[in-house]
Amino acid sequence: MANNSHILRIKRLSTSHFAKNVAILFSGTAIAQAIPIAVSPILTRLYSPDDFGLLAIYSACIMVLSVIATARFELAIALPDKVTDAANLFILTLKVCTLISLLLLIPIVLFADDIASSLGHEKLTPWLYLLPLSIIATGAFNAIQLWHNRLSHYKTIAMNRVQYSILTAGTQIGCGLSQLNGGLLIGSIFSNLAISGWMAQRLWKTDKTLFKQVDSSSQWRLAQRYSSHPKYIAPSQLIGVTAQQIPLLIISTVYSLTAAGFFSLAFRLVSLPTTLVASAIGDVYRQKIAEEYNHKGEFRGTFLKTLATTASLALLPSLILYVAAPSLFALVFGESWRIAGEYAQILIISAYVQFIFTPIDKGALVVGANKYIFFWHCGRLTALALLFFYTIYQQPSIELILYLLAFINITLYLIDGIVEYWLSGK
């Protein structure tokens, strides 16, 4: 009896510890995401929609190319039992990222003008030469965060995210007040390099004894051991990230950099609840259904409860934004940004559906339906690619493109909801 009481106490402590870690990470992420939103009314008065469009395209390039550059070896840092193996994987990630990023300089030097033109604007050309540095910094930042995750340094992870966000916001405002040309991009690039360099310096000071033990032969062995990461995980994530960036590519290429700026602000704001609240609910949902699935082989009840919760939680805010988005955007960000509010009005229904189903899409991962996940991402990429080619050849109004984009998103998430319901009862 005493032994059972001891086990129960351990389980309660473990659950409490888990909830505390989730709360720390959620708080850090929420603050880090809230800061750029809070300073957006300042930035929209310091910079033009063109500046926002340029930053959105540059950031999209980083997001897509970062997946390739690290070969996703950073995701293996938490896996090995030996901490020396984890250290070797960390260094391997940085080596691969640096090599691939520097190789990107070759096409940039040879075809910078063509690349910038294909992405929507020649103003992007001089910034492309900084892209390899940004990718290296992004790869280092992610690898360091995952290193801290392995060591359960959740406060450090949260603080790093908040510090990055504060530095970016402060630098962008400072550049704007100084009327520095390209200040929005400069602030983003400088902050990325500065925070990654500072984090790397701190990590070296605390763990340099461990990192001095790494060697190339061990890294090669681990590269072979985790070869599934560049073979399968990186391509799958590349498909997902590329699909996310296609709408921005459509608008910047076919319409204008200004339209891309309006779209980027509208999309970021309507997606914010999913990024913060729905993702946090999803983390808790994944842990709960994993336990239920292991014990009972199903989790239909939790699925339906979570679905009802997310559907009711976002309904009223979505209705308010749908009715008032143009006026709200004009009031908060300035009259010139009313168009972004009109874009948000079209996208909000799609964002609401995505908010409902994002937390419950973890079920497929829990039951091991990996092929379904891969094919769902492929279907999304295919649908958006078809939309891209339709836009290029027909050049319809941007409003029609946004409605079609919303329709594709709603359809895919409804399909996912049906599949996840079926999987929850298996």
Are residues 234 and 222 both part of a single domain? no
What per-residue confidence (pLDDT) applies to 326?
92
Are the CB atoms for 165 and 32 separated by under 8 Å? yes
Are residues 372 and 312 both part of a single domain? yes
> For the residues of 118-156, what is the DSSP string, one character each?
HHT-GGGHHHHTTHHHHHHHHHHHHHHHHHHHHTT-HHH
Tell me the pLDDT of the chain (426 aa) as tens digits.
444 544 444 444 445 555 576 677 677 777 887 888 889 899 989 998 888 889 988 998 999 899 889 988 887 887 788 889 989 999 999 999 999 999 999 999 999 888 888 876 778 889 999 999 999 999 999 999 889 877 878 788 888 888 999 999 999 999 999 988 889 999 999 999 999 999 999 999 888 888 888 899 999 999 998 888 888 778 877 888 888 888 888 888 888 888 888 998 898 888 877 666 777 677 667 767 877 877 888 888 888 888 888 888 888 888 888 899 999 999 988 888 999 999 999 999 898 998 888 888 777 777 777 678 788 888 888 999 999 899 988 889 999 999 999 999 999 999 999 998 898 885
What per-residue confidence (pLDDT) applies to 11?
45
Are residues 365 and 399 both part of a single domain? yes
At position 414, the amino acid (one-letter code) is L
Out of 226, 255, 287, pick the residue that ends a domain.
226
Out of 188, 211, 226, pick the residue that ends a domain.
226
Element (H, E) at 421: helix 398-424
Are the CB atoms for 160 and 29 separated by under 8 Å? no
Out of 184, 205, 226, pick the residue that ends a domain.
226
Are residues 29 and 138 both part of a single domain? yes
User: DSSP 3-state assignment of 374?
Assistant: helix
What per-residue confidence (pLDDT) applies to 32?
82
Return d(Cα 204, Cα 135) in angstroms, integer: 20
What per-residue confidence (pLDDT) applies to 287?
66
Are the CB atoms for 187 and 59 separated by under 8 Å? no
Return d(Cα 408, Cα 415) in angstroms, integer: 11
What per-residue confidence (pLDDT) applies to 221?
92
Are residues 122 and 4 both part of a single domain? yes
How many other β-carbons are positioned within 10 Å of the β-carbon of residue 395?
A: 11
Structural domain for 180, as ranges: 1-226
For residue 98, give both structure tokens: 């640096």
Q: Note the Cα 87 to chain centre separation in Å.
A: 25
Are residues 99 and 127 both part of a single domain? yes
What per-residue confidence (pLDDT) applies to 17?
57
At position 398, the amino acid (one-letter code) is I
Are residues 238 and 266 both part of a single domain? yes
Q: How many domains does the chain have?
A: 2
Question: Please, which residues have CB within 8 angstroms of residue 151's CB and are 6 or more apart in sequence?
Answer: none
Are residues 202 and 286 both part of a single domain? no
Return d(Cα 111, Cα 105) in angstroms, integer: 10
At position 309, the amino acid (one-letter code) is T
Are residues 237 and 215 both part of a single domain? no
Are residues 187 and 266 both part of a single domain? no
Residue among 352, 360, 339 at smallest CA distance from 409: 352
Could you tell me the pTM of the whole model? Answer: 0.80
